[in-house]
């Protein structure tokens, strides 16, 4: 039997200026109540934010608050995979939902002094660092695509977007780059 | 031609930088800093256009965006042709090519001007009365002719090649208008620590300060106004205020959302290749300061529209800002003090002022001294009886008038008439914000009265005119706005009770200030038998006579009069005409202006290009184009795609020489006889997980889920609460507490939203959660009698019929890749659906495709999928249902869990009308001629050639040629359909009524033996 485990192919993307694609990641959506959050925090040895629209980053792993009972857990490939069984085990007794969505979405980085301005071409939120500080994350829209936007640095954002919208999003940002002057 | 009317010095222009341009093919020269209007005036050109209806020669009435008449087209190349631009806002650049409009064959000789002579026959509303008969002629004769005759510029004929940018912005304080009030507001706001955006429609910030004369230049903070302006702008920029010149705030939307249009390249001779032409801003401001100024009102008298007749403030602007003398010998007609300043400025520049005709009975004392000193004669209690001059005013007839009795008539030669009827505060944006206006007796104008948004007005737009007071008013507004925007605890939302506040009226200015601004609204008094047209609305060619006609015909409401006469309805939004129209009607009806009310101001403040609204949303970026992980393979293998929602789906895979029909026939037969491979990745998928997952599914879907064992699948039907089919799909139970739910492609987002809605609002107690997995899985359907051997060699699962019966699911691997394998069929054949993580989709597809070669596999598309499912009578939600179809109607009664206490829509299904025997039911139709394929959507009749009108008893929902059956098949919703089995009905088609026979909707393998192979 053929082995295709190394035959991953992500969407073909042509990111424009200020934008780059990030490598594949392991992703889970964790849903449940406060007890689930606390248990997950312990099992992962990673802060799972209780505050709305906040992300916690620890090296290669991160937890993003997406809703009162919903978190996006991110890890570079490999590192979190090892923790997933531990997480499942820790949550066994608690009502919750843990779903692997590693392939559902891809990640883009938008970086540079004009990052805020570039995103403002299509994102209706206030991206000023006073309103959208480092560590803030939220579901929002960029152009006509729904995204999760996370500020990872003064001049750096991470976008999580469903894979079929990624091509549109890259083209939208490439076009918007012409208009930020 | 030389710039014979250019002054030797002064103004905000650079005489050393000469710019060549053309107007109607004639070459002219202007200078840097000019607009097209100022450059033409410098060349002595006053005839700029022809009017809308009467084709009367028109020049420049104003110097700003309120200009109603001088609309021109600017052409850069064949595709870049912009009509209906106000010449006063077109900045001059080297090589600019402008054209006049609404004239044929030329501006000077225009055949359309015959309308002016025919005007007695075409009064207001003539088209409602004249073109009534024959009615049919309206469509092919009258309307096209009227449309051709009316209108001004022509639309460009080629696609717009320019790029348009968009930006969202947020600020504490948005200041609209950068005149003295706006500048003071911005400075005060940024001084208080606020984030500030300041925009102005002009190319330079400064507002009225840009038109100040050197003769009586104001001094601000101990500096000449011009220097103060430069210093202030530099200071604002240094303090990070976003300064936006050439940016019109054109729309005010709820919750302090203000739309701005920034013009980026129209003023450049050679714009950078990739630079956007315009940028539309959507600004969400915590507080807004409106400092939009005031617009001078024209006076209404016969012949007031000839080229050379203009607003006094405009003349000041031509002289002081652009260094242009708008004539040689002027008569000034005024009802306000401002015109005296203009007269004195122009006289000092060398222009002869023949007379000031003062409409008021007396000249204010201070001004009387000035005019006497300047030697300018003044006629008080004056009116204008008429003017003359074909393409430029040549003379004006003045007189005194008392109770209709004319005295001291005199005719004065002149080539320039300045008029001033006072100033109308610009309350457009305030009115757009749904703030209400109230008549102010002191200012004689409508002023902001009750707020609907977190906004405040400052300066002339709320009736404060004197410079020092304007500046302090602006500063106070800016400071208050900043204070409220940055107050502790203030989030972006409006605090409760903030709206509906009344605005304190501006402290009344000096009697002098108010008298100077008030002026006159309505028509100047005329003798009984006055002749000539007195224009109220220049752009729509509305005269006092039109307004009088409307009142004679019984119109009383100003809203009705506006629509009947079209006054104030042109693209200039009645900037120069609204108050005069009110004044005229008020005079005719003997009703005070405040009792008449005011019409609504609408966006846009000035016209905005379509490109600005479209932004980048055109072509490939109009909407996201969603593709599946296997898209590239389909492209490489010649797929023809169709749009399904935002998705591109392969419709068929034609072999060389095949059309759609042949390709589909081949694909269908291959699936029935061997095997097909189909990309089903676009189907919606939702992972429903939690201890109460089965309870949730029981409440939502019609089916009984408790009895579904782990590892098994069931076809689920989802209704709305009204009992009609909303969505359907196969649901697999992956574990006791985990369901893999599939939805239709188009229904995926709305089903998830509906589920989430019920969970959050109705059943928050349920321990169950949803996660969309639509894009997590690539789905590869392998369908056909040889599907099992194709897959068996690739998977680590026992796929035998015993281990994996129809409607089962297993978890395993395919080529080492994790997989959920479903045994399901939407074709009626033995079928499997391979679900793998999306990044593996392409490789797994290729592996299956390769393995299938030995088993006759073919890729097939959505069209074949449709035919195969129709042969089996499987419905497609949205095609065979339309939001009025119950499960019973669709033949899905078997999918209802009869013993369930409740499910979404259950109660609605029990209403008598939902169970009536004559409801439209899904049946099959077989045409008597097997070669005839019915039109989808065709009506179904009981009788052939039924006399019209008649009632159809149903319609065709799906119709195909079935290669498997060698004949056409159709599905239809027919009243009482299932009781009509065997009956002959008739389907009207373009070639005549087609007889059809009612049949079962399952045309192929009704016992389902192939499914269970």
CA distance B635 to B733: 35
* Cα-trace Rg, chain B: 38
B714–chain A nearest CA distance, Å: 22
* Residue A109 touches partner B, C-beta closer than 8 Å: no
Class of the B520-590 domain?
mainly alpha
Could A96 and B769 be called an inter-chain contact, meaning their C-beta atoms sit closer than 8 Å? yes
Residues of chain B with CATH 3.30.70.1400: 684-772
* Residue A83 touches partner B, C-beta closer than 8 Å: no
Could A104 and B776 be called an inter-chain contact, meaning their C-beta atoms sit closer than 8 Å? yes
Other C-beta atoms within 10 Å of B1004: how many? 18
If DSSP codes are grouped into helix, strand and coil, which group holds residue B259? strand
Per CB-CB distance under 8 Å, the chain B contacts of A9 are: 629, 839-843
Is the CATH code 3.50.50.60 the one for domain B164-294+425-506? yes
Spatial CB neighbours of B378, under 8 Å, sequence gap ≥ 6: B355, B356, B357, B358, B363, B368, B371
**What are B222's two structure tokens?**
């101990």
Hey, which residues does B896 pair with through a beta bridge? none
pLDDT above 50 (res B447): yes
SS (H, E, C) B294-342: EEECCCECECCCCCCEEEHHHHHHHHHHHCECCCCEEEEEECCCHHHHH
pLDDT category at B568 given cuts 50, 70, 90 is very high
Is the CATH code 3.40.50.40 the one for domain B684-772? no
**Of A150-154, A162-166, B462-466, B830-834, the least confident:** B462-466
CATH number for region B635-681+776-869? 3.30.1360.120
If chain A, 181 residues long, is cut into consecutive pieces of 10 residues, what is the mean pLDDT of each piece?
Answer: 91 90 95 97 95 95 97 83 83 96 97 97 97 98 98 98 97 93 70
CA distance B275 to B240: 24
If DSSP codes are grouped into helix, strand and coil, which group holds residue A94? coil
At residue B530, the pLDDT reads 79
* Residue A143 touches partner B, C-beta closer than 8 Å: yes
At residue B495, the pLDDT reads 46
**Chain A stretch 35-64, residues whose beta carbon is closer than 8 A to a beta carbon of chain B:** none
* Residue B783 touches partner A, C-beta closer than 8 Å: no
B769–chain A nearest CA distance, Å: 6
**CA dist B485 → B198, B241, B667 (Å):** 16, 15, 66
Task: Indicate the residue of A120, A168, A176 with minimum beta-carbon distance to B625.
Answer: A168
At residue B950, the pLDDT reads 86
Residues of chain B with CATH 3.10.20.440: 1-159
pLDDT above 90 (res B118): no
B695–chain A nearest CA distance, Å: 14
| Residue B620: closest C-alpha in chain A | A168
Helix (H) or strand (E) holding B236: helix B225-238
At residue A119, the pLDDT reads 98
Over the stretch B574-587, which tens digit does the pLDDT of each residue have? Answer: 999 999 999 999 99
* Residue B571 touches partner A, C-beta closer than 8 Å: no
**What are B433's two structure tokens?**
């914000």
At residue B114, the pLDDT reads 80
Q: What is the DSSP string of B749-776?
A: HHHHHHHHHHHHHT-TTS--EEEE-TTT
Could B284 and A96 be called an inter-chain contact, meaning their C-beta atoms sit closer than 8 Å? no
| Residue B280: closest C-alpha in chain A | A121
If DSSP codes are grouped into helix, strand and coil, which group holds residue B31? strand
pLDDT above 60 (res B532): yes
pLDDT above 90 (res B491): no
Determine how β-strand B164-176 pairs with β-strand B196-199. parallel
At residue B701, the pLDDT reads 98
pLDDT category at B499 given cuts 50, 70, 90 is low
A118–chain B nearest CA distance, Å: 9
Per CB-CB distance under 8 Å, the chain B contacts of A124 are: 168, 282, 284
**CA dist B948 → A166, B93, B940, B943 (Å):** 54, 65, 14, 12
Task: Indicate the residue of A12, A95, A171 with minimum beta-carbon distance to B621.
Answer: A171
| Residue B837: closest C-alpha in chain A | A103
If DSSP codes are grouped into helix, strand and coil, which group holds residue B848? helix
- Residues B645-665 have a mean pLDDT of 97
Q: To which residue do tokens 């590892």 refer?
A: B711
Task: Indicate the residue of B170, B626, B844 with minimum beta-carbon distance to A128.
Answer: B170
- Counting residues of chain B whose pLDDT is more than 90, the rounded percentage is 84
Could B775 and A96 be called an inter-chain contact, meaning their C-beta atoms sit closer than 8 Å? no
Over the stretch B671-684, which tens digit does the pLDDT of each residue have? Answer: 999 999 999 999 99
Mean pLDDT, chain B, rounded, equals: 93
| Candidate ranges B43-57, B144-158, B770-784; pick with highest mean pLDDT | B770-784
What phi and psi, each to the nearest 5 degrees, are found at residue B859? -75, 145
For residues A128-153, one letter each, b for 16 or more C-beta atoms within 10 angstroms of the residue's C-beta and e for the rest, the string is: eeeebeebbbbebebbbbebbbbbbe
Angle at B986 between CA B982 and CA B988, to 5 degrees: 155
CATH H-level superfamily of B298-421: FAD/NAD(P)-binding domain (3.50.50.60)
**Chain A stretch 3-32, residues whose beta carbon is closer than 8 A to a beta carbon of chain B:** 3-5, 7-12, 24, 29, 31-32
| Residue B629: closest C-alpha in chain A | A11
pLDDT above 70 (res B497): no
**Chain B stretch 295-354, residues whose beta carbon is closer than 8 A to a beta carbon of chain A:** none
CA distance B961 to B665: 8
- Residues B308-336 have a mean pLDDT of 97
At residue B150, the pLDDT reads 64
Beta strands in B102-204 (DSSP E): 164-176, 196-199
**CA dist B389 → B53, B69, B307, B395 (Å):** 20, 17, 9, 7
Over the stretch B244-295, which tens digit does the pLDDT of each residue have? Answer: 999 999 999 999 999 999 999 999 999 999 999 999 999 999 999 999 999 9
pLDDT category at B149 given cuts 50, 70, 90 is low
* Residue B620 touches partner A, C-beta closer than 8 Å: yes
Chain centroid to CA B176: how far? Answer: 22
Q: Which domains does chain A have, with CATH numbers?
A: 19-177 (3.30.1360.120)
* Residue B632 touches partner A, C-beta closer than 8 Å: yes
- Residues B121-134 have a mean pLDDT of 72
Per CB-CB distance under 8 Å, the chain A contacts of B814 are: 4
CATH architecture of B1-159: Roll (3.10)
Task: Indicate the residue of A2, A165, A179 with minimum beta-carbon distance to B815.
Answer: A2
Angle at A139 between CA A133 and CA A144, to 5 degrees: 115
Q: Which fold has domain B916-1013?
A: Elongation Factor Tu (Ef-tu); domain 3 (2.40.30)
* Residue B265 touches partner A, C-beta closer than 8 Å: no
Residues of chain B with CATH 3.50.50.60: 164-294+425-506, 298-421
Burial of B896 (0-12, 13-18, 19+ CB in 10 A): buried
CA nearest neighbour of B415 among B351, B371, B337, B359: B351
Over the stretch B979-990, which tens digit does the pLDDT of each residue have? Answer: 999 999 999 999
Q: What is the DSSP string of B908-963?
A: HHTSHHHH-TTSEEEEEEEESSTTPPPPTT-EEBSSTTPPSS----EEEEEEEEET
At residue B1, the pLDDT reads 46
Could A4 and B279 be called an inter-chain contact, meaning their C-beta atoms sit closer than 8 Å? no
Could A103 and B626 be called an inter-chain contact, meaning their C-beta atoms sit closer than 8 Å? no
At residue B148, the pLDDT reads 66
pLDDT above 80 (res B501): no
Provide the ipTM: 0.97
Q: To which residue do tokens 């330079």 refer?
A: B204
- Residues B422-435 have a mean pLDDT of 95
**What are B193's two structure tokens?**
């620590």
């Amino acid at each position: 039997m053929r082995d295709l485990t190394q035959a991953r192919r992500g969407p073909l993307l042509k990111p424009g200026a200020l934008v780059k694609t990030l490598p594949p990641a392991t992703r889970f959506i964790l849903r449940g109540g406060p007890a689930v959050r606390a248990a997950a925090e312990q099992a992962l040895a990673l802060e799972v934010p209780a505050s709305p629209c906040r992300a916690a980053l620890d090296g290669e792993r991160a937890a993003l608050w997406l809703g009162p009972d919903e978190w996006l857990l991110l890890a570079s490939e490999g590192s979190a995979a090892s923790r997933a069984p531990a997480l499942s085990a820790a949550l066994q007794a608690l009502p919750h939902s843990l779903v692997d969505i590693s392939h559902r979405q891809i990640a883009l980085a938008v970086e540079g002094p004009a990052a805020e301005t570039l995103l403002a071409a299509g994102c209706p939120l206030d991206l000023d660092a006073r309103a959208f500080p480092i560590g803030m994350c939220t579901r929002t829209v960029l152009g006509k695509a729904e995204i999760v936007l996370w500020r990872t640095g003064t001049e750096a954002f991470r976008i999580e977007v469903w894979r079929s919208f990624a091509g549109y999003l890259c083209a939208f940002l490439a076009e918007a780059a012409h208009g930020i002057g | 031609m030389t710039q014979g009317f250019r002054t030797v010095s002064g103004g905000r222009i650079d005489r050393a930088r000469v710019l060549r341009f053309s107007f109607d093919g004639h070459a002219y020269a202007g200078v840097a800093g000019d607009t097209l209007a100022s450059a033409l005036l410098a060349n002595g050109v006053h005839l700029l256009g022809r009017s809308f209806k009467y084709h009367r020669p028109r020049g420049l009435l104003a110097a700003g965006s309120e200009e109603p008449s001088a609309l021109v087209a600017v052409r850069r190349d064949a595709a870049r042709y912009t009509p209906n631009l106000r010449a006063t806002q077109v900045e001059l650049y080297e090589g600019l090519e402008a054209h006049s409009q609404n004239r044929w064959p030329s501006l000077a000789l225009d055949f359309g001007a015959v309308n002016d002579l025919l005007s007695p026959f075409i009064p207001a509303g003539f088209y409602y009365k004249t073109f009534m008969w024959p009615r049919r002629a309206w469509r092919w004769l009258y309307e096209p002719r009227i449309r051709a005759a009316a209108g001004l510029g022509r639309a460009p004929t080629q696609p717009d090649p320019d790029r348009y940018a968009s930006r969202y912005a947020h600020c504490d304080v948005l200041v609209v208008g950068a005149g003295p009030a706006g500048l003071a507001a911005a400075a005060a706001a940024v001084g208080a620590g606020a984030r500030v955006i300041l925009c102005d429609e002009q190319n330079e910030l400064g507002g009225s300060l840009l038109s100040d004369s050197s003769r009586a230049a104001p001094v601000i903070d101990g500096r000449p106004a011009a220097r103060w302006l430069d210093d202030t702008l530099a200071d604002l920029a240094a303090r990070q205020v976003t300064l936006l010149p050439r940016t019109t705030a054109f729309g005010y939307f709820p919750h302090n959302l203000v739309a701005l249009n920034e013009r980026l390249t129209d003023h450049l001779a050679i714009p950078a290749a990739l630079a956007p032409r315009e940028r539309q801003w959507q600004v969400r401001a915590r507080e807004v300061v409106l400092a939009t100024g005031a617009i001078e009102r024209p006076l209404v008298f016969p012949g007031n529209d000839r080229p050379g007749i203009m607003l006094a403030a405009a003349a000041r602007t031509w002289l002081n800002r652009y260094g242009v003398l708008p004539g040689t010998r002027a008569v000034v007609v005024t009802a306000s003090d401002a015109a005296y300043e203009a007269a004195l400025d122009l006289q000092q520049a060398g222009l002869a002022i023949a007379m000031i005709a003062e409409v008021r009975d007396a000249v204010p004392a201070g001004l009387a001294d000035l005019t006497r000193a300047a030697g300018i004669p003044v006629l008080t209690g004056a009116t204008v009886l008429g003017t003359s001059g074909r393409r430029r005013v040549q003379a004006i007839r003045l007189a005194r008038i008392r109770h209709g009795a004319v005295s001291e008539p005199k005719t004065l030669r002149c080539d320039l008439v300045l008029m001033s009827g006072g100033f109308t505060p610009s309350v457009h944006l305030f009115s757009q914000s749904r703030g209400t206006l109230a008549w102010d007796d002191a200012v004689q104008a409508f002023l902001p009265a009750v707020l609907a948004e977190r906004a405040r007005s400052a300066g002339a737009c709320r009736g404060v005119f004197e410079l020092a007071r304007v500046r302090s008013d602006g500063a106070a507004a800016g400071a208050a706005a900043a204070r409220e925007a940055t107050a502790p605890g203030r989030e972006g939302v409006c605090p409760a009770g903030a709206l509906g506040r009344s605005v304190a009226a501006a402290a009344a200015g000096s009697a002098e200030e108010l008298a100077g601004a008030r002026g006159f609204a309505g028509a100047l008094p005329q003798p009984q038998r006055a002749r000539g047209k007195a224009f109220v609305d220049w752009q729509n060619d509305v005269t006092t006579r039109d307004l009088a006609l409307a009142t004679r015909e019984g119109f009383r409401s100003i809203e009705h009069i506006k629509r009947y006469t079209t006054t104030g309805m042109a693209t200039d939004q009645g900037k120069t005409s609204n108050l005069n129209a009110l004044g005229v009607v008020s005079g005719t009806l003997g009703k005070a202006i405040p009792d008449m009310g005011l019409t609504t101001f609408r966006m846009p403040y000035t016209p905005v290009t379509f490109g600005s609204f479209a932004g980048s949303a055109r072509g490939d970026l109009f909407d996201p184009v969603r593709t599946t992980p296997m898209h590239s393979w389909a492209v490489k293998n010649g797929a023809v795609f169709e749009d399904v929602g935002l998705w591109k789906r392969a419709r068929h895979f034609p072999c060389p020489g095949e059309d759609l029909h042949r390709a589909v026939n081949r694909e269908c037969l291959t699936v029935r006889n061997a095997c097909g491979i189909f990309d089903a990745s676009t189907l919606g998928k939702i992972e429903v997980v939690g201890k109460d997952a089965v309870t949730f599914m029981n409440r939502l879907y019609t089916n009984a889920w408790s009895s579904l064992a782990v590892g098994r699948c069931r076809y689920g039907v989802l209704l709305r609460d009204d009992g009609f089919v909303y969505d359907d799909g196969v649901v697999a139970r992956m574990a006791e507490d985990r369901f893999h739910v599939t939805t239709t492609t188009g229904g995926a987002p709305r089903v998830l939203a509906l589920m989430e809605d019920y969970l959050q609002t109705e059943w928050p107690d349920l321990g169950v959660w949803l996660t969309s997995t639509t894009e997590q899985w690539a789905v590869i359907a392998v369908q056909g009698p040889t599907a099992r051997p194709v897959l068996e060699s690739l998977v680590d699962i026992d796929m035998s019929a015993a281990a994996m019966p129809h409607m089962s699911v297993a978890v395993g691997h395919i080529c080492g890749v994790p997989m959920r394998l479903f045994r399901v069929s939407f074709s009626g054949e033995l079928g499997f659906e391979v679900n793998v993580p999306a990044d593996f989709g392409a490789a797994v597809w290729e592996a299956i495709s390769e393995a299938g070669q030995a088993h006759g596999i073919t890729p097939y598309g959505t069209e074949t999928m449709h035919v195969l499912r129709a042969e089996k009578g499987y419905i497609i939600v949205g095609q065979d249902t339309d939001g009025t179809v119950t499960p019973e109607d669709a033949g899905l009664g078997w999918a209802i869990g009869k013993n369930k206490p409740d499910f979404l829509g259950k109660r609605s299904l029990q209403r008598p009308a939902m169970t009536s025997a004559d409801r439209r039911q899904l049946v099959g139709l077989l045409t008597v001629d097997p070669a005839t394929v019915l039109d989808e959507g065709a009506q179904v009749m009981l009788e052939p050639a039924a006399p019209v009108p008649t009632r159809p008893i149903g319609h065709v929902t799906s119709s195909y040629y079935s290669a498997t059956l060698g004949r056409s098949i159709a599905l239809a919703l027919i009243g009482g359909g299932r009781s009509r089995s065997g009956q002959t009905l008739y389907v009207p088609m373009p070639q005549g009524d087609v007889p059809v026979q009612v049949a079962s909707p399952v045309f192929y393998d009704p016992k389902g033996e192939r499914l269970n192979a």
